[in-house]
């Protein structure tokens, strides 16, 4: 039996459980993922479409599907946190890694669309580190 994982949004309005049975874990560096996340890349897990039980807040979820491209996003309407969603073809459930309360067994398998990598990513990896805000 697979381990159960819990997740949700930052404000707690949306909550879900799913089995730790992921098919893939990609870090996508494409420009669309940068815009969708406001970050250098999106960290997404892929699993079967029916591998989720929404336990709270489905009425707090807003879905966005780009009208001409093959990408979409679901998020909490209160806090904006990314939450799981079905891809446009409905063949995979995409789970934002940051929406999980505990890390899954699978580790990132690939960095994809690296030709579009954010210009600040590599310099940022070598920047000074702090455990909290800089002094």
Q: Where are the domains of the chain?
A: 4-125
Query: What's the rounded mean pLDDT across residues 39-56?
Result: 97
pLDDT at 84: 98
- 53 pLDDT above the threshold of 80: yes
90-114 confidence digits (pLDDT tens): 899 999 999 999 999 999 999 999 9
Alpha carbons 89 and 70: distance in angstroms, whole number: 9
Residues 6+ apart with CB under 8 A from 24: 45, 46, 106, 109, 110
Share of the chain above pLDDT 90, in %: 87
Residues 6+ apart with CB under 8 A from 105: 3, 20, 22
| Fold observed for domain 4-125 | 2.170.150
- 12 pLDDT above the threshold of 90: yes
pLDDT at 105: 95
Name the DSSP class of 3.
Answer: P
Query: What's the rounded mean pLDDT across residues 62-75?
Result: 86
Residue 45 confidence class, pLDDT cut points 50, 70, 90 = very high
State the burial class of residue 21 (Cβ atoms within 10 Å of its Cβ: 0-12, 13-18, 19+): middle
Residue 71 confidence class, pLDDT cut points 50, 70, 90 = confident
- 129 pLDDT above the threshold of 90: yes
pLDDT at 65: 84
């Amino acid at each position: 039996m697979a381990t159960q994982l819990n997740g949700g949004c930052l404000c707690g309005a949306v909550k879900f459980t799913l089995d730790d049975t992921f098919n893939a874990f990609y870090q996508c560096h494409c420009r669309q993922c940068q815009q969708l996340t406001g970050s250098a890349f999106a960290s997404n897990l892929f699993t079967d479409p029916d591998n989720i039980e929404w336990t709270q807040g489905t009425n707090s979820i807003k879905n966005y599907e780009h009208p001409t491209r093959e990408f979409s996003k679901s998020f909490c309407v209160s806090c904006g946190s990314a939450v799981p969603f079905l891809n446009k073809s409905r063949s995979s459930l995409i789970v934002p890694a940051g929406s999980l309360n505990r890390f899954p067994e699978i580790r990132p398998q690939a960095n994809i669309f690296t030709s579009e990598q954010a210009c600040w990513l590599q310099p940022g990896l070598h920047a000074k580190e702090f455990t909290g805000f800089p002094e």
